[in-house]
Amino acid sequence: MGGLCGVFTLAYLVFFYVFQDAREIADSNLDGYLEVLLLAIPIVVLLAATLWLSESDTEADLRLPVVAWTVGGALLFAIAMNTALFVIEPEFDRGEQWLILLLSTGFGASAGSVTGVMGLISKQRERERNRKNKLAQRRKREREQLEYLNQYLRHEVLNEVTKINGYAGLLEDRFDVGGEDAGYLDIIRHSSDDIAVFIESIREILDATDHDPQLEPVDVVSAVETELGWLRRSNRDATLERRGDEDAYALAGGLLDRVVVNLIENALEHNSGHVSISIDISAGDQWTTLEICDDGGGIPEAKRARLFEPPKSGDHGYGLFLTHNIVELYGGQLILEETGPEGTTFLVQLRRATKANRTSRVTPAVLRGAAASQASD
């Protein structure tokens, strides 16, 4: 578009240079140089279209038709006017004929440019509607999958969890369990409780589609240390450590520990042999960040694009999907920061709970409003 605008400008300059006598340019029936002023209109329209295209975020494939419409309009008007002049054979001097051709070509290009831009805007809106529809369909499908999973787990698993806890209690009551055996019983009870919490997390995510949950300040360091303690006892071949700040609070809910457990267990499950995992906690001005790093083999490139989406089949892949939903439920974000042969790094960012608001409770909607206000400032 910029090139076309330059071509028309150059053509006008050449015209003025060749036909310097104003009497050959202006129509004697009009006052002054109205035709000459009209020449500026196509340049202004083409320049405006060029600037709009350069500033807009439209897809590249939608811009080419605008150029095609502009060139086509210019050629169509030029051919039509040249044909008319040939048939009518008006008594115009050469300067007036060229002026008419330039005007018709310029206005044809302007009309084509405006038509192309309007078509681009229409197609862009249509694509945006299609994207929104696909997103709505995907969310509906995800909700249906979660509903099915939740019902299945509640029906099939919660009863078994109750049995596990019950029999663990019977063993402790009937036998004098101590030492390392008592630790094993604690792990059994903790693991069965984790299953129940996992099922409740699905219910909480589903409920969040109807209303925002109440968030409260959570001691991130304490939550991470607690879960690392249990994970070290049940995964003795792995090295688990915490680094970073000793005082870090985030606005979250009761499922923050599931976020930590899911990310660590995902690293343990998909990496064989000895695995070293570190959690680096940092409290920034706005965000409390958990950086979970492992030294495994990385995530295959084919899986990265759909890493946080629910699996279409099988029973693997729900962990990261649920973790992503929990973090978003709390107004935060889960990011795959890095992955490769040297290992994988996930970032969990949650709104920081400062000392001033550690006693308050908010919703994700309030956090989003505050973030928008800060961005506008």
3-state SS record for the chain = CHHHHHHHHHHHHHHHHHCCCHHHHCCCCCCCCHHHHHCHHHHHHHHHHHHHHHHCCCCHHHHHHHHHHHHHHHHHHHHHHHHHHHHHCCCCCHHHHHHHHHHHHHHHHHHHHHHHHHHHHHHHHHHHHHHHHHHHHHHHHHHHHHHHHHHHHHHHCHHHHHHHHHHHHHHHHHCCCCHHHHHHHHHHHHHHHHHHHHHHHHHHHHHHCCCCCCEEEEEHHHHHHHHHHHHHHHCCCCEEEEEECCCCEEEECCCHHHHHHHHHHHHHHCCCCCCEEEEEEEECCCEEEEEEEECCCCCCHHHHCCCCCCCCCCCCCHHHHHHHHHHHHCCCEEEEEEEECCEEEEEEEEEECCHHHCCCCECHHHHHHHHHHHHHC
Q: Token digits for 147?
A: 């509903």
Q: Which residue has the tokens 């995530």?
A: 299
Q: Is residue 75 predicted with pLDDT exceeding 60?
A: yes
The residue-averaged pLDDT of 40-53 equals: 77
What are residue 287's DSSP bridge partners? 351
276 phi and psi angles, rounded to 5 deg: -105, 125
pLDDT tens digit sequence for 201-219: 666 666 665 556 778 899 9
State residue 142's pLDDT score: 75
State residue 244's pLDDT score: 93
Q: Is residue 61 predicted with pLDDT exceeding 70?
A: yes
Residue 164: CB atoms within 10 Å: 16
Query: CA 72, CA 66: separation in Å to the nearest integer?
Result: 10
| Cα distances (Å, whole numbers) of residue 230 to 166, 191, 258, 277 | 20, 9, 13, 14
13-17, 141-145, 193-197: the lowest-pLDDT one: 13-17
| Cα distances (Å, whole numbers) of residue 90 to 87, 100, 270 | 9, 12, 84
Q: Token digits for 136?
A: 């709505």
- Is residue 278 very low, low, confident or very high in pLDDT (cuts 50, 70, 90)? very high
Q: Token digits for 130?
A: 């299609």
AA letter at 363: T
**Contact predicate 196/158, CB 8 Å:** yes
| Max CA separation in the chain (angstroms) | 119
Query: CA 231, CA 292: separation in Å to the nearest integer?
Result: 14
Q: Is residue 374 predicted with pLDDT exceeding 80?
A: no
pLDDT tens digit sequence for 228-253: 988 887 787 889 999 999 999 999 88
State residue 120's pLDDT score: 85
* In the chain, % of residues over pLDDT 70: 74
Query: CA 221, CA 110: separation in Å to the nearest integer?
Result: 63
State residue 350's pLDDT score: 94
State residue 2's pLDDT score: 58
Query: CA 295, CA 280: separation in Å to the nearest integer?
Result: 14
Positive/negative CA dihedral, 291, 296, 300, 301: positive
**Contact predicate 240/264, CB 8 Å:** yes
Average pLDDT taken over every residue of the chain:
77
Positive/negative CA dihedral, 86, 91, 95, 101: negative
Query: CA 40, CA 81: separation in Å to the nearest integer?
Result: 19
Q: Is residue 68 predicted with pLDDT exceeding 70?
A: yes
pTM: predicted TM-score of the whole model, two decimal places: 0.52
More confident residue, 94 or 232: 232
**Contact predicate 248/288, CB 8 Å:** yes
pLDDT tens digit sequence for 314-373: 555 677 888 898 898 888 999 999 998 889 999 999 999 876 666 655 555 555 455 545
pLDDT tens digit sequence for 125-176: 888 889 888 888 887 887 777 777 777 777 667 777 777 878 788 877 777 7
- Is residue 28 very low, low, confident or very high in pLDDT (cuts 50, 70, 90)? very low
Q: Is residue 281 predicted with pLDDT exceeding 90?
A: yes
Q: Which residue has the tokens 């990011």?
A: 335
Q: Is residue 102 predicted with pLDDT exceeding 70?
A: yes
45-49, 240-244, 266-270: the lowest-pLDDT one: 45-49
The residue-averaged pLDDT of 72-93 equals: 75
Length of the chain counted residue by residue: 377
The residue-averaged pLDDT of 193-204 equals: 72
Q: Which of 352, 347, 348 is nearest to 374 (CA)?
A: 352
